[in-house]
Amino acid sequence: MRFSELSTYLEKLEKTSSRLEITRILTELFKETKPDEIDKVVYLSLGVLAPNYEGVLLNLAEKMVLRTFAIAYSQDSQIIEKLYKKEGDVGNVAEILSSDLGKIKSELTVTQVYEKLLEIAKDNGEGSVERKIEKMAEILKNLDSLSSRFVARIPVGKLRLGFSEKTIIDALAGHDAKIQEEIESAYNIRPDIGYIARLVKENKLKSAKPEIGVPVVPVLCQRLNSVTEMIKKMGEVSVEPKFDGLRIFIHFRRKDNFIRIFTRNMNAIPLETFPELLNVGMFIKADEAILDSEAVGLDEKRQMFLDFQKTIQRRRKHEITKNAEEIPLQFQVFDVLLVDGINLINEPYTKRREELKKVVVSGSLLRVDENTITKDPEEIRKMHQKYLKMGLEGVVVKKADGLYSSGRTGWNWVKMKEEEGQRGRLPDTIDAVVMGYFLGKGKRTQFGLGKILVGIKDGDKFRTLTKVGTGLTEEMLVVIRKRLDKLVAHEKPKGYEAQKDLIPDVWAHPSLIVELSADSISVSTKHSLGLSLRFPRFIRIREDKNADQATTLGELKEIFKLQKTSS
């Protein structure tokens, strides 16, 4: 497929906000795409070159991309700057400049453009910036004007056509619910949408299995505060402590001492961040394994666990050695997904626990969580109280015969963080996406930020939930403003829904996640979500989550129901 053909589809996608129409266009595109190029088509339609966990980035800022235009289109840099200030979009600038040169019939294929972009991404070291600019200019020079619009946007991460991997899966399934379920299951095991698209085209979906070095979409907890309801929905359960730590997946292969660690949002973390794991092979009785764990900071003097905010400091890039000495970690291991090539994802939880105890040498570094198997609601309540008194977050209750079902599907894992019947606040916190901010009044004008506008993801849409100012310290106002300066959107991002009286002074692309508490959830006509928070309070930034892992509308409604039953 020529890239110019792909561009016509991308233009159609850009012009519509209808989820159904976007899915239809993508379905048509994928039918026209051959198996050996569909992975590239999928990546490029999302504006990426590889799954996020691989960290393949072009590393060309907007100023650098504008420099490529001067070379590609033999144009004066001042004219380019002036045009960019007017358009506010590098893609539009590239299209205009390309059009001024006359029509070019581009023969470059999707695969050729993809491979050239990948070559730029992999070019590092001394002099790489200038080489990247020259290579990018060479690509643009040989593209038609419409193709230039989309290719120019990819390096700055602003292709954003209003859909995600979820829509790609819908389109690959062609409205067949059974096929969609199979694709989702394969994607949860191998969250590489390009790879999965190729398996679909080749009819090899069933071959998907966990692989060392590739993250798995984690199981996430649902919420229930009634222990009776837990037993009713789940039957026999395993009751375990809920730690306030950092979710960590440990991938280990002995033959080449391969160790790779991922967070819950499937981002790889440099091993030097957690130097304790350099010798993790001493604590694993297998040649290869994938372990699911919670990294918890330890206060050795007081012999207690540290809270999340303290533990998360271990991810800072600076002062790693100092932080490692001040905040030693213990990895509470609670699941195993792969052992010596054997896929355990579809095995019952109790069987995985048995395998886990065989594989992990439980001690100071790795520790297998204690658990209690029961069908007695009173036993869950008793364990919950026990762990709360220990300073933990209560219990996690897991279906004894449940499979490792990624996401929040079914009633496999349930968390119960608050005491039953607790009044005066929500039974759980909310992880919301920062959609923009207001400049503030009075004292807060000096920080350039008064309140943040947050929202919840509903499918591929982001709808407003509330404005938040309470709980934001002066230090946090500075931190958040700096973070949002890197996410500024010059106009309302595609997929955002907000009513006229809730338009922030500055829009932000959906990347920063914040955890909020509130007294209650209320029905709202003011917010596009239809729900809002009463007396919302900022708790912390969730460094370990991305927009796809924030609270969804479905989960918010669950909390709304829990609020009613506990009031």
Quickly count: other Cβ atoms within 10 Å of residue 29's Cβ. Answer: 22
pLDDT of residue 494: 84
Q: Which residue has the tokens 């990294």?
A: 295
Quote the pTM value: 0.77
Orientation angle between helical segments 193-201 and 165-173, nearest 10 degrees? 0
Q: Rounded distance, CA 567 to CA 242, Å?
A: 24
Looking at domain 222-416, its CATH class is: alpha beta
Whether domain 430-565 has CATH 3.10.180.10: the reply is no
pLDDT for residue 460: 80
Contact 544, 263 (CB under 8 A): yes
List of residues 6+ apart from 137 with CB closer than 8 A = 68, 69, 71, 72
d(CA 74, CA 140): 12
State the pLDDT at residue 186.
94
Write the CA distances from 546 to 226, 266, 408, 441, 510, integer angstroms: 29, 10, 16, 30, 9
Where are the domains positioned within the chain? 3-153, 222-416, 430-565
Evaluate whether 558 touches 428 at the Cβ level (below 8 Å).
no
Q: Residues 40, 242, 461, 467: which is the catalytic one? A: 242
Residues 190, 247: Cα–Cα separation, whole Å:
18
**Radius of gyration of the chain, Cα coordinates, nearest whole angstrom:** 25
Q: CB-hemisphere CA count at 13 Å for 333?
A: 29
| Token code pair at residue 218 | 């984690």
Residue type at position 327: I
Helix residue ranges, H only, 123-214: 128-141, 145-153, 165-173, 177-189, 193-201
| Torsion angle of C-alpha atoms 535, 538, 539, 540, degrees rounded to 10 | 160
Strand-strand pairing, 288-299 and 268-269 = unpaired
- Give, for all 567 residues of the chain, the pLDDT tens digit: 999 999 999 999 999 988 899 999 999 999 999 999 999 999 999 999 999 889 898 888 889 999 999 999 999 999 999 999 999 899 999 999 998 776 677 889 999 999 999 999 999 889 999 999 999 999 999 999 999 999 999 998 888 788 889 999 999 998 889 999 999 999 999 999 999 999 999 999 999 999 999 999 999 888 777 899 899 999 999 999 998 888 999 999 999 999 999 988 888 888 888 888 999 999 999 999 999 999 988 765 545 565 555 555 655 555 555 555 567 788 999 999 999 999 999 999 999 999 999 999 988 899 998 999 999 999 999 999 999 888 888 899 999 999 999 877 778 999 875 554 444 467 788 999 999 999 877 778 888 899 999 999 888 889 999 999 999 998 999 999 999 998 998 888 888 999 888 899 999 999 999 999 898 898 888 888 888 998 899 999 998 788 888 888 888 888 887 776 554
Question: Are 22 and 54 a contacting pair, CB within 8 Å?
Answer: no
Residue type, 191: P
Find residue 237's DSSP bridge partners: 374, 399
Say what the alpha-carbon torsion angle 549, 552, 557, 561 is, to the nearest 10 degrees.
Answer: 0
Residue 519 has a pLDDT of 87
Among the listed residues 225, 259, 556, 277, the one whose alpha carbon sits nearest the alpha carbon of residue 422: 225
The answer to whether 314 and 272 are in contact (CB under 8 A) is: no
443 has catalytic annotation: no
**Cα distance between residue 307 and residue 368, in whole Å:** 20
CATH for 3-153? 1.10.3260.10
What gap in Å lies between CA 124 and CA 58, rounded to an integer? 10
Which stretches does DSSP call E strand in 320-469?
329-339, 342-343, 366-368, 372-374, 395-399, 413-416, 430-438, 451-458, 461-468
